[in-house]
Amino acid sequence: MENALKDDYKSLTLAKIKKLKHGGFGRTSIKCMYADLGFEIILLTSDCAKSQELMELLGRWRKENEAWYLSQFPVSIRRTTRWFVDKLIEVPDRMLFIIKISGKYVGHVGLFGFDFDKRTCEIDNILRGEKDFPGIMGCAVRGMMDWGGRNLKLRGYSLKVLSDNLRAVRFYQKLGYQETSRIPLIQVNGRDGLEWAQAPQDYEGKAARYYVVMESV
């Protein structure tokens, strides 16, 4: 009985996410507040792949912040679009919202990696693309978490952040996240040069870099 309920939750949630991601850009928009100013976080949908402006923007932001990702590579519109379709739209439990305030896109926030049994999810791809509106990133993450609680019945969130990304660690602590574990990382040869990957278990304590796992409390 309990397992049947869990299966129901999983299939209903995935069906809902799929419908939203194919529903057209602008249809899923979460209203948030930044001090006294309203702003929105808008779900990126399959039709966005046709927008050169959006693909260019996502590519530029990715390049400018590449130090905080596991891999670095030459960014192009073609590559960003392929990532957008294959690694975001086609991945059933992944969503990305773009932050729009006063007519301008300033960053994005996302959800990825649901634990359907626990009804939790990781917050993913949190990125400030433009410098304006200090404090808006925290408002956007909170807005997305509230939305996930109301609309996807999520009960909690976790995340992974690189151990040397001290600004981001502090940002998440201010949002109420606490470290629960560390995953050692190791450099390996990737398609575009060295990239970071999960290290073998016995690497614990020897790693130069870790993924810090944090959970909302």
Residues in touch with ligand COA (CB under 6 A): 35, 65, 68, 126-128, 134-138, 161, 165, 167-168, 171
Q: How far is the CB of 204 from ligand COA (least distance, A)?
A: 21
Question: Is residue 126 a contact partner of residue 142, using CB atoms and an 8 Å limit?
Answer: no
Q: Which two tokens stand for residue 82?
A: 């392929």
| Residue with token string 């129901």 | 8
Cβ proximity to ligand COA: between 47 and 195 the closer is: 195
**3-class state of residue 191 by DSSP:** coil
Min dist CB 6 to ligand COA, Å, is 29
Nearer to ligand COA, 74 or 134 (CB): 134
Q: Which of 31, 43, 54 is nearest to 139 (CA)?
A: 31
Q: Are 113 and 3 in contact (CB under 8 A)?
A: no
Q: Which residue is nearest to ligand COA (CB)?
A: 135
CB of 141 to ligand COA, least distance (A): 8
For the chain, the straight-line distance linking the first and the last C-alpha, in angstroms and rounded, comes to 29
CB of 68 to ligand COA, least distance (A): 4
Q: Kindly tell me which of 21 and 108 has the beta carbon lying closer to ligand COA.
A: 108
Distance CA 42, CA 46 (A): 13
Nearer to ligand COA, 44 or 136 (CB): 136
Which residue from 70, 44, 68 is spatially nearest to 57, judged by alpha carbons? Answer: 44
13 vs 159 by CB, closer to ligand COA = 159
| Shortest distance in whole angstroms from residue 106 CB to ligand COA | 9
Q: How far, in Å, CA of 110 to CA of 148, rounded?
A: 10
